[in-house]
Amino acid sequence: MSEKSRYHHGNLRAALMQGATQFIRLHGAEKLSLRALAREVGVSQAAPYRHFQDKVALLSALASDGFERLGERMRATFELHQQDPQSALREVGEEYVRFALSNPEIYRLMFGMKASEFDASEMQVGHTEGYCILEQVIERGLEMGMFQQHDADMIAKTAWSMVHGYSSLLIDGVLELDETTALSQFQQMAAVWFNGVVNSR
């Protein structure tokens, strides 16, 4: 079978996902066209529908993929700092921000396609996966007596909110910082968060 012009592509699904990833990195997900993508990959306009029910199904697959990669990175970082919950929390957070900065369009997909768009269940799995890691870190910190006796859930929510919010503001260009200053400022923000804002008395 020759390299070119073979009727069956081989693994079109993967090629589509890769092509889509590359495209949205450059132009954003809302500009993605299945037809153009098919053209790019060298296949007919209807071919993608053999592998994805929908356009949003393709995007969902990308998002799902992103959750997996993010989860892995978070877990790896967590395990590096298992002995010290405080730096675990900080470093997992930084890794999260780092992921968002290097995959902005995927990150935007991961959130922002819940209710109306997508199946939701698959997305929800991605979210809870990350949340679990976060809770583990916090539980450990509480057990070791290194954290204040707040409700673990509330600590987790402030943490996630802050990290997700910071990531979003960076990605959406609201805070205009290059990656290195963004990350170093994150460290300072973590310090503020750890120590609190108001004076005790």
Partner DNA sequence: CAGTATTGTTAACAGTGTTTACTTATTCAG
Partner DNA sequence: CTGAATAAGTAAACACTGTTAACAATACTG
Tokens of 122: 């698959």
* Residue in this structure with the two tokens 């780092």, named with its chain if needed: 98
Tokens of 14: 């993967």
* Residue in this structure with the two tokens 């997305």, named with its chain if needed: 123
Q: How far is the CB of 65 from a second copy (least distance, A)?
A: 18
Nearer of residues 38 and 138 to DNA, judged by Cβ: 38
**Interface with DNA, residue 46, by CB under 7 A:** yes
**Interface with DNA, residue 40, by CB under 7 A:** no
Q: Rule CB under 7 A: choose which of 25, 43, 65, 164 binds DNA.
A: 43
Torsion, CA 47, CA 48, CA 52, CA 55, rounded to 10: -130
How far apart are alpha carbons 62 and 6 in whole angstroms? 27
How far apart are alpha carbons 100 and 188 in whole angstroms? 18
Residue 198 partner contact from a second copy, DNA, none using kind-dependent CB cut-offs of 5 to 8 Å: a second copy
Tokens of 128: 């809870």
Residue 6 partner contact from DNA, a second copy, none using kind-dependent CB cut-offs of 5 to 8 Å: DNA
Q: How many residues touch DNA (CB under 7 A)?
A: 26
Nearer of residues 51 and 164 to DNA, judged by Cβ: 51
Count CB atoms within 10 A of the CB of residue 101. Answer: 17
Q: Rule CB under 7 A: choose which of 1, 26, 115, 174 binds DNA.
A: 1
Q: Which residues bind DNA (CB under 7 A)?
A: 1, 6-12, 32-36, 38, 43-47, 49-51, 53-56
